Amino acid sequence: MALEITNSNYKEVLAEGKPVVIDFWAPWCGPCKMVGPIIEELAEEYKGQIVVGKCDVDENDEVSAEYGIRNIPTVLFFKNGEIVDKQVGAVSKSVFVEKIEKLL
């Protein structure tokens, strides 16, 4: 299951040292509903290798503002606490897998 990323925990999550994938989403967003199940699958498939999280942009404006999230879904890929890749909009699982494999 994907970790809930909030204003209060995102800095600790990024400081853990593992690659991190964060899905910025909102409950009212149609494309987010398509990406959500893929993110959950990736969280299970890559458990122990990377941290996969979901951040509700409506409830966590601090995180969203810090990373300049303007469109959702936006998935950010972090390595060593720095953004190394980004995916805006709904795409197939294979696109996410390719980006995750580059993190490992």
Residue tagged active-site, from 21, 29, 38, 52: 29
Question: Is position 29 annotated as part of the catalytic site?
Answer: yes
Residue tagged active-site, from 32, 38, 39, 90: 32
Backbone dihedral region of 81: left (phi > 0), alpha (psi from -120 to 50 degrees) or beta? left
The answer to whether 3 and 52 have CB atoms below 8 angstroms apart is yes
Tokens standing for residue 43: 């969280």
Question: Is position 32 annotated as part of the catalytic site?
Answer: yes
Q: Among all residues, which ones are annotated catalytic?
A: 29, 32
